[in-house]
Every structure is written in C-alpha cells, then in structure tokens.
Amino acid sequence: MSESGTKPSEMTFGRAMIPVLFLIGALFVGLNIYGSDPHIPILATAVVAGLVGLKSGYSWQHMEEAIMDTIKVAMQAVLILMVIGALTGTWILSGTVPSMIYYGLQIISPGIFLIATTIISAIVSIATGSSWTTAGTVGIALIGIGEGLGIPLPIVAGAIISGAYFGDKLSPLSDSTNLAPAMAGAELFEHIRHMLYTTVPSLLISLVLYGIIGMKYSGSSIDTEGIEVILNGLSSQFTISPILLIPPLMVILMVIFKIPAIPGLIGGVLVGGIFAVVFQGQNLGSIIDAAHYGYVSEMGIPAVDDLLTGGGLDGMMWTVSLILCAMSFGGIMEKTGMLEAIARKILTLANSTGSLVLSTILTAIASNFVAGDQYLSIVITGRMYKDVYDEKGLHPKNLSRVLEDSGTLTSPLVPWNTCGAFMYKTLGVHPFAFAPYAFLNLLNPIISTIYGFTGITMEKVEKEEKSEKQKKKKYSKESIEGTI
C-alpha cells in the first residue's frame, strides 16, 4: 500500500525491466570501463528500482521493510563469512593451512590433481552439506597446492567449485537440498534420488574434462626447484606436523554430527588459536590480530608470501558490503512484484514441458543475478512455478530438481551473489575467471534442459495422486472461504 492508502498498480513487464537493464549497463560501465567494484553500480540500481516502485504506488516504508526482510535472509551467510575470515587467519597462524599445503605438494602429482581436487571437494561437501565449509577448509589448501604445482588458479578454483557443489547439492545436510523440495512440495530423499539423473552425468563429464586438462600438466616438467623453495619456506616459517590437520577434520566432524555451522566454525577458530600457541609459540595478541586483520607473510619469498597472506574478519568486509548492496536491490525487486512480472512474461512462452523447464532454469539464473542470493533464487522461482508444474501433471520432484540444477549450481558464478562473493574472497579467484572451468555448474543446467525437451526422467504425477492433490486444494479453498 502507498502512504496515502491507495493500492499500488500491477507491476508491468516494461517497468520491471527498467532496473534490470540499468543493472546491466551500470555493471558494464563500472567494471569494464572504469574498473570499479560492483558495489556502487548495484546500489545505484537499487535506487532506480526504488524509484520504479514509488512510481508504481509502493511507499518507501514498504520498500525499506522489503530491504530489511531480505537482508535478514542473508544474515546467517554474513555471519558465516565473518567467522570463516577469522578461521582462515588463525589456521594460517597455527600452521594448519601451511601443513595442508606442505603435505599436499608432496603427495599429489599435477596429472591427477584436478580430478583429485574435484573428488576431495565432493566428499567433504557431501559429509558436511556445505560448499562454503568445503571451500573454507580443504579449498584453501587445494588452491595453495595448485599454485605450487604451477596449475592456473582459475582452473583449480573451478574444480573445487564443481566438487563442492556436487556434494552441497546431494547432501541431506545441505540447506539448499532441504529448501528446494520444500518449495516444490516434494520429499527430501525422492528429491535427492531424482537429482542423481542430472548431477552424476555432469560430474562424470567434468572429471573427464579435468583429466584431459590434467594431461597437459602431467606432460610438462614439474618445477621441482620452485616447489622445493615453497616447501623450505613453509618449514622454516612454521612447525609442520600431521597433528595440525586436526582442526579441519574437527570442523568437518562437527558439521557431520549436526552441530550448527556457526558454532562449529567458531570451534575451529578456537582450536586454531590453541594450536598457534602450542605449535608456533604465538601469543594471544598475535592470534587476535590474525583473526581480525588476517595473516601477513613477510618472508620475502613471493611464492610463499602469496600463499600465506590472507584471511581475517576485516578481509571479509568487502564481501559483506557487497552482499548488503545486492540484498537491498533484490528485496525491492521481489517485494514490489518486479521479479514476478518478469516471470509472468517468461511463462507465456512455456507451452511444452521442455520450454517450462527452460523457463524455470532461466528464471532461477536471472534471480541469482538480480536478487543476489541462491536461497531467494530457489524460493522466488519455486513459488512462481509450483502451480504450473502441478497443472501440467509433473511430479513436484521435477521442479525441485530443476531449482537445484539452476538456482544452486549457478549461484557461485555470479560475483555479487552471496555464494559468488564468498568463493571470490575465500579462494582468491574472481567468479568470472573460474566460471569457464566450473564444468559441473555449467553442465548441470544444460543436461536438465535436455531432459526437459526429451522427457527423460520427467516423471508425471499418478492419476490417483493428482486427484488427491486436487481434492486437498478444493477442501483447502472451501475451508478458507468458510472462514471469511
């Protein structure tokens, strides 16, 4: 409602596209011409979206509440991000990250490294149900190992992302894996089983591609001298010990045993601090500095200094501010009906099962770009398309699978999305740089679209089940009308 109490006019597709087109232009000019960060272009687009909302009859109070509500959705992600920053700083100071890199450089060869990276990331992510925990623990070490082996970091980051999101997507512990069936009206385990049809082929093709890329590096001579410099630098600056691998194992176990993510990660920070005192002889002041400002390596060996400088609460503030800007824009777009208006337009083109699946995928991807959060992408898209899938007699698990194939999988590829911003800050590689090598994330939506047009695994609702659903809908409607 507007401040005068009048009802806002229905949002049109033309008006809804104004902020979207402005966003594309603002990001192009800001990032490509002036080399700026995306924060101000996104914030400026939020202003444009607000003006469109005001013109459509929405009050500032309504839009401000929309911004606050949307930011609340992202607050857990923000808190996890801040704790991961502190965790990274203390784990470098304690020798945990250096030990992971040290042993990894000795046991993994360049030829199999990308395949091993994908599989390791997938296993950890399935166990924890979190792509973020995977990237913040083994991901950091794998980036260091890859750099030591001379493999370009965008390729390494792409392999980490592929493995991490394979596990995140299929783990029953994952938030997105539980959210998608809830939005679609499917059961959790039937949702997971149905996702195997698209996710497993995507992983297998990805592993083949990583194997082919790995052959290029297995044939080249390894810079043993450069690796030796890194190993000597690590062992001279830190006490290296297998015991220092305990903190990441503890965090993984805590998540497996369903300890909430934030307390589990804080436990990792505390253990890192204790190990810094016991193994590296650090004091409380240096631990606080590492947790707050990150660790700064000043050995004078560029390879080692690059590997070990990073982390800290302050280091995550760039990402936190980006998330807040993106959530402000996404909140206005959702609560003023602009996203819904765009989806309605897309739905007019969805005449077949294939075009419906493609429309769902494009909407989820667009939501990741516009709303800036994978959860919003799943919720908004699921809410928009649920009834359409029901009307076409498609089982809800088809929708829940498509939501994950697109909303979950493409979220880390968008720099201003909460997932993309997190991966950028944690792995140190821009999403646009690793996106071409995140094969699983790219393949999954394509395979899902092919299934939609060919009808492969697109299960229909049984007649009895459909009839029962319609009865429930009818009774629910009658019940509502009876109370009015």
Q: Establish how many alpha carbons lie within 13 A of residue 455's alpha carbon, considering only the half-sphere containing its beta carbon.
A: 2
Angle between helices 60-94 and 96-107 (to 10 degrees): 70
Work out the mean pLDDT of the chain and round it to a whole number.
85
Cβ(75)–Cβ(259) below 8 Å: no
Angle between helices 338-347 and 353-370 (to 10 degrees): 160
Residue 168 has pLDDT above 90, yes or no: no
Q: Tens of pLDDT along 288-330?
A: 999 999 999 888 877 678 778 888 899 888 878 877 888 888 8
Greater model confidence, 229 or 456? 456
Structure confidence at residue 125 as a pLDDT band (50, 70, 90): confident
Residue 134 has pLDDT above 90, yes or no: no
Residue 97 has pLDDT above 70, yes or no: yes
Residue 467 has pLDDT above 70, yes or no: no
Residue 481 has pLDDT above 50, yes or no: no
Structure confidence at residue 464 (pLDDT):
53
Q: Tens of pLDDT along 53-73?
A: 999 999 999 999 999 988 887
Structure confidence at residue 483 (pLDDT):
36
